[in-house]
Structure 1
Amino acid sequence: MVEGAVLDWGGVFLVEEKSAVIENAGFAFAAFSTAMTLMRLISDKLIAYAGPRNCVRYGCLIGALMLTGCVLLPHIWLVVILFFALGLGLANVIPIAFASTADQNEMLMSLALAAVTTLGYAGLLTGPALIGFIAKVTSLSTALLMLAAFLVIVSFSSNIFRQKVDFWRWQ
């Protein structure tokens, strides 16, 4: 949901809420995507060291802090840096969710993977619409703070992820 919100609303947020010039609107998503890409390149080692539960817990808390900072801080370039840090924090959440389907016994792995994929795409597709609805009723800043609150909820519910996972065992 956050990724879809940054994709669809990051530029609008910079222009309408932070008074950025339209030429700089793409920097929010560019910073976020660059950070996610860089973090995913090193995520196997980080997840093996810290464990999936801690990566989700602290990554979501970092994301919530960064979104809150984006709303509260006035300087556009500082906000772009916070979008970068948001990408660093959230980069591992979806890969960990996909990997977690392998070590659960509640349903067939294929069904679990389909469920995680469906929920992921549902958030990516419906999240921006929800953000738009909330923004129309209140403001885009309020909608982003709502996402920050969702990230805090995900952080506190991170106990559903395994403590440690061996990502290299499939090779």
Structure 2
Amino acid sequence: MKLKYSLSALVLAAAAGAATAEDDPAVARTVEQVKMLDALYKTAVVLITEHYVENPSSISAATASKLLFAEMKKNGFHEVRLLGLTDQLTNPEENTPTGNFEETAKEKLLAGEEYYKRVVNEGGKRYLYMATGIPVVMEKCVMCHANFKDKTGPIGALAYKVPVIE
């Protein structure tokens, strides 16, 4: 099986996906922060899969990532959710897109957009919501996602909620 993406291509896609800056400098700074987080998390998923996932009974990179995401939220840094973008979800109770932002992000990402973002006001504070796609990027991915071995688009997404850096 020939995969379309490499680790470096995935990281570059994560960085390029958010390259359009808003006119608002605070939003542009926050977009840059999310680009960095996206590249970091996606690199971690690939490295965990490459070096630690040996068989389907190993802890998955998705499970390890969710633990990392929970720590970031617990410490008040930002929120990240792993979303499934297909109708075949391993954990539908956890990974089904919910709410208008995630449902719209799913539509946009499956339609070929590299990212989807929105700035919202909550409790007098601005937040950047941003979602980026996750494709199958390596042979080991199909150990758990065998039904997507020939899929070229995203099968999942990372959905971020990050305070706008004023």
Q: What TM bracket, shorter-length normalisation?
A: 0.3 to 0.5
Report the TM-score when normalising by structure 2. 0.33
- Larger RCO (alpha carbons 8 Å, 6+ apart): 1
Report the TM-score when normalising by structure 1. 0.32
Greater helix fraction, Structure 1 or Structure 2:
1
Greater strand fraction, Structure 1 or Structure 2:
2
